[in-house]
Chains A and B, each alone.
Chain A
């Protein structure tokens, strides 16, 4: 699986079940109990550190017939996306195809509501054929309430296929008492895990490698109180000790003393470099030979050479010091947690803080070099080195952006202390880019201002300064574009491209988009195309997100130019490139463009097919841009094909999802869209209420799939009063001026049509037709149909009376068919149409013959009537179709769907 196909990078060692040490005591009775409870939803093993929880479950799972999966949890799993990624990855070690939908959800920019996530997961687990035992170790590390919630729902509605085994140092905040009361769980507690005296004897004999007399065993057993890890440490300490008596004598005091005593014993038996290394590696969550070498101090005070990484690990295994293998090939290990705690305490007692910080730094270095960013960050933070942590994230920002790993970036930024982020230009910019990607633009511009101010005041390296300025220009360019300031957008974008180094693919691609759009908005669309073509010609930049952004730029421009077939092509390429390069956000954006183009061309079945996965049942994809495009396009498609309820449902869910995320821009857009739907569904009053609260001025750039500004015009006209009409006239005139200034072809079309409608209602037919004619002229070349069909049907009637050439008539026919809910391509000829007045059978027959280019005389001969009769019929036909000649009649009839193209003679 390529890294980009995973929601978060997975550390495979966390999925590895720690192997059971060969000398452990087999806990028969306990394993039997676990086995008895295997078909209950839960096994809970709750006891403090060192009781052998992991060992017990490991033993049990070793003997199982059913497949077992394992996740070793730690602090970083306190993010639902991360937690569920590991959960599903674990399930997939046994059932590789399971939980596809949940997995897909985890890759979205914004996660859907918890209930949805939980429900999807449960359903998919339920549909697994087979049984799985999934162990979650160290669950006490999980604090995040949403994760507790998911687990709770899993236990309340347990899937048949899954048995959960949770190991924790204290009872987890899930309905334990309720499950206990209903006998739905197996519980193993500390008192169950005590070694009995017999078990202690067996264990000590095995692990200490010598047999001990009763007296010694009793002291050890009662001194450790049957605590397994303490017994293990005692056995270790005893192994190389001749003087058993002496050792036993030291066993006084309470358990706390015993632990420290044991650790010191063990350490004193190791050669000093090894002892040092043991303490030093206690800071690591997991280690491998090279990491050990990187971290451990080169030589001890006594001048002895340090121990090599490989040797250290071999030693650990050979002396069976409590360490845990994390994979099958002997690469990664970790200390037993309790042992690790004790070692760490010893480290803190015997070393200076500065030395310990050094250890963390060395760990950070090695981990970063080896691409383990999240772990490297952990250590930088533990070293108390906030600034270095910030620089670490900064160093990888470009790479993360280029791979579209936005939530990973957000995660890393989120772990930094706030004051570090605030004081670093690069980090502020990274966060601004993230916010921009989520369409939280006002927040992004805020950060942009702060970053710019900070840049003025600080003195970074020259090449860094150039890059930061470039990034600032790129984001500014977008800001100006939204303000409809094309020229300024162009300037900023050009400055950005001049300053940004080539490896900043994401940022450069972004600047190309704003540059191209800026040119289009300024009326220089050819230059916009040129920029894109130049970009495509540059071989070395064609990696990753730069290339997909070029396709995005192309799609945007062509959309605004109402040139829809090319949008389909660009959108399709965008989608394919996105998939090939493992860039899900790009792939979805391409899909959205494709769907939007299909919709606008009135290819509704295609639109629905393409868009459905973006907004699929029962889940909502709430990734900003894609969401706006795709969600609205799908809802519009449903509305246009007569499924109003489903359309409203989608709009509802979009609104709910957005309320949760709290993005005002998107929410605002969605409320407007709902008003538009209300209008289409005949609920004028509802639409009016929205209109009262809506003020579109000052106009911002209109470029998305849906424009609330148009809805306002529609609503004002629909209101019907004289006052509204006047307001509408004024408003639409201003809107048209704005659209004209920004060279926005696509959205000018409906505005002209609406203005024509107003004139028509006032009796000014010529005026109306003139405006409508202009609208058609803009729409026809690109084939934009729904810009008309989403308006009042009266416009369709008006269209019928518009004088046009043959091409124009064909186009008009398609638009009129769309008004009647017909999809393009044309449906088979039914020759009764309401606006046109039904053609009689005879008329239809003659029309077909006209289509075959027969003259009146030839037709007359064909159907056994006089030419005069034919002439009379054709005149009726022309009147009904609103045309003046046979070519036009045929063209229009084809457009309307009365005639099929294929019936035309060659």
Chain B
């Protein structure tokens, strides 16, 4: 029996990496999500963006994913470091 539950992974801070198809504004990334962005080129020559950063919890992660969705940037992958 747990005496003090470990924080479920949805509520703890972690480093997340989100890859999307397309490019986005650096300032946005900083101001809204607090994540760094890097651009890369995919196998077919398409431009992709990787957002990496420390987020306080998954409500924040969902906020970022939702914002990307509203900007019509398809999400290719979402990884959580330290979540394993």
Contact = CB atoms under 8 A, between A and B. Distances in A.
A229 B64 CA distance: 26
Contacts of A171: 59-60, 62-64
Interface stretch (B31-39, B40-48, B73-81): B31-39
Given A171-B63, A225-B5, A145 B70 contact: yes
Interface in A162-208: 168-178, 180-181, 187, 189-191, 194, 197
A47 interface: yes
B59 A47 contact: yes
B57 A191 contact: yes
A197 B59 contact: no
Contacts of A85: none
A906 B46 CA distance: 91
A453 interface: no
Interface string B5-19: 101101110000000
Contacts of A225: 5, 8
Contacts of B66: 140, 170, 173
Interface in A458-510: none
Contacts of B31: 175-178
A46 interface: yes
A187 B60 CA distance: 11
Nearest to A145: B70
B30 A178 contact: yes
A861 B18 CA distance: 104
A183 to B, nearest CB: 13
A172 B65 CA distance: 11
A222 interface: yes
Contact of B60 (A143, A170, A178, A181): A170
A189 B11 contact: yes
B80 to A, nearest CB: 16
A218 interface: yes
Contact of A177 (B3, B10, B30, B62): B30
Nearest to A181: B34
A397 interface: no
Interface size bracket, A side: 20 to 34
A18 interface: no
A48 interface: yes
A226 interface: yes
B32 A170 contact: no
B8 to A, nearest CB: 6
A456 to B, nearest CB: 42
A140 B59 CA distance: 11
A222 B56 CA distance: 22
A173 B70 contact: yes
Nearest to B7: A191
B34 A176 contact: yes
Nearest to B56: A189
A170 B34 contact: no
Contacts of B35: 177
B30 A46 contact: no
A169 B60 CA distance: 9
A191 B11 contact: yes
A177 B59 contact: no
Contacts of B10: 48, 190
A44 to B, nearest CB: 10
A173 B63 contact: yes
Interface in A16-48: 46-48
Contact of B63 (A46, A143, A180, A218): A46
Interface in A220-235: 222, 225-226
Given A143-B70, A190-B10, A191-B12, A170 B30 contact: no
Given A46-B59, A171-B59, A187-B56, A180 B70 contact: no
Contacts of B59: 46-48, 168-171, 189-190
B12 A180 contact: no
A222 B6 CA distance: 10
Contacts of A187: 56
Given A190-B11, A191-B7, A174 B56 contact: no
A175 B27 CA distance: 10
Contact of A173 (B4, B5, B11, B32): B32
A552 B30 CA distance: 55
Given A145-B70, A189-B57, A191-B12, A222 B34 contact: no
Contacts of B8: 225
Nearest to A196: B4
A178 to B, nearest CB: 4
B37 to A, nearest CB: 12
A170 B62 contact: yes
Q: In this complex, which of A171, A178, A226 has the most chain B Cβ atoms within 10 angstroms of its Cβ? A: A171
Contact of A190 (B2, B3, B57): B57
A177 B2 CA distance: 34
Contacts of B5: 222, 225-226
A170 B63 contact: yes
Contact of B1 (A177, A178, A222): A222
Contacts of B56: 187, 189
Contacts of B60: 46, 170-171, 176, 189
A180 B1 CA distance: 37
A47 B8 CA distance: 13
Q: In this complex, which of A143, A180, A190, A194 has the most chain B Cβ atoms within 10 angstroms of its Cβ? A: A190
A180 B63 CA distance: 15
Interface string A127-148: 0000000000000100101000
B83 interface: no
A191 B56 CA distance: 9
B62 A218 contact: no
Contacts of A218: 1, 3
Nearest to A47: B59
A226 B6 CA distance: 11
Given A177-B34, A178-B31, A180-B34, A172 B4 contact: no
Contacts of A181: 34
B7 to A, nearest CB: 6
Nearest to A176: B32
Contacts of B11: 189-191, 194
Contacts of A178: 30-32, 34
Contacts of A169: 59, 62
Interface string A83-106: 000000000000000000000000
24 contacts: A46-B63, A47-B57, A47-B59, A168-B63, A170-B63, A171-B59, A172-B63, A173-B63, A176-B31, A177-B30, A177-B33, A180-B34, A181-B34, A187-B56, A189-B60, A190-B10, A190-B57, A191-B7, A194-B11, A218-B3, A219-B1, A222-B1, A225-B5, A225-B8
Please list the 10 inter-chain residue pairs (A to B) with the smallest Cβ-Cβ separation, ordered nearest first.
Answer: A171-B63, A177-B34, A175-B31, A178-B31, A170-B62, A173-B67, A170-B63, A190-B11, A191-B11, A171-B60
Given A171-B59, A171-B60, 9 more contacts: A47-B59, A171-B63, A171-B64, A173-B32, A174-B32, A175-B31, A175-B32, A176-B33, A189-B60
Interface of B: 1-5, 7-8, 10-12, 30-35, 56-57, 59-60, 62-64, 66-67, 70
